[in-house]
Structures are given as C-alpha cells and as structure tokens.
Amino acid sequence: MFFLLLSTCFVDTDILFSFYILPSWFIQFTKALAFRYSHYFVSYFATSIVFIGGAPYSLEIVRWTSVEWPGSLAQVASVWNIPMHSFLHKYCYRKLLSSGFATLSAILITFAVSSLLHGLDLRMCTVLLSFGLFSFAETGLRERLAISLSACIRTRPCPKDGGCLHRYKSNLNPLVILPCVIFLLINGYQLVYLANQSK
C-alpha cells in the first residue's frame, strides 16, 4: 500500500503542486518516480497473491532500493523484474551466447524478445532497446575505466574472495567514489528519461 499511496497521491505533481510553476526536470522526475512506484506496488501485490496461494515467501520480484539507487543500468535490468530477468537470461541471452552470437547481438535480441513479451508497443520496444544499448555502453566504458584507473568500478562488483586485481578497492578511495557517483547520477537521469519515453 505504501508504494500505491506514493505513486498516486504524494508524487503526482498534478495534484500536489497544481498551484506552483515547477521546472520541467522536476515534473519529469516525479512522473518517473510515480511510474516506478506503481511498478513496485504491482510487484509486491503479485508477491502477496502468490504467498496467499500457498507458495513460499522466498519469491522476490523486485528490489526497489537497487532501482532507486542505480549503481548500473545492468543492475537495474536484473532487479526490475527478477523472475523475468532470470527467464530471459537463462533461456535467451545465455543460449544466444553459447550459439556464437556476439554480446551486443545477444543483448539486443534479448531485449527485443522482452519487448515482444511486453506486447509490441512501439514506445516500449524503443525504451527496452535503448535500455539494452545504454547498459551495454555503460558496461564497456566501466570496464575500460576500471582497467585504466585500476579501481573497482566495474558494472558488477569485483569478487570478494581475493580475485580482484585492482589497486584501488576501497569504497573510500576517491578513484572509486567519484566514478561511481557520476555513474549513479547518469543512470538516475537515464531512468527518468526512459520512464518519460514509455508513457
């Protein structure tokens, strides 16, 4: 209920701020926030229905904190709808990679399949394919930066068991903090942009 109230009552700029002239970026941000919060409500509602139906409560559909603080777009893609991501990753992306497809081709085909599952809406197809391209570009850029700066700033965290060969591992190091904060801001902006394109 928390996310339902937030998405319909508290972040709706038409209701809450109708007497003020607001900057366009603020309006876009609140509309994207309302879109995400309504998704969280639907996801937690579905989890509750499945739990009431007798399934174990270990089912997790969304991790909203990872979406609201997007360390990387690949992370957002994997936690936005966890069961769908697991299905597409296992039966589409991995199969394409093992068949000899290049990584970018496998990503684009996987996001195309996802857009087909969302119902052939041109806007949704564009948003999902853009999301796939943005996350691929971010992953490549972060890999190159991690190598050149020798810092743990890759899209996926470095292994904790000592397999990391980077010189700067600490989250307190400026060479780790600064790129991560910059990517956090860029990813937040891209989520606002993509959410406003999907409406």
Structure tokens that stand for 92 in this block: 């589409």
Q: Is 118 a catalytic residue?
A: yes
**Which residues fall within 8 angstroms of residue 39, CB to CB, at 6 or more apart?**
62, 80
How many other β-carbons are positioned within 10 Å of the β-carbon of residue 32? 22
Short-list 72, 60, 79, CA closest to 141: 72
Sign of the CA dihedral 117, 119, 120, 122?
negative
Structure tokens that stand for 195 in this block: 């959410």
Q: Which one of 39, 85, 89, 118 is the catalytic residue?
A: 118
Active site residue ranges: 118
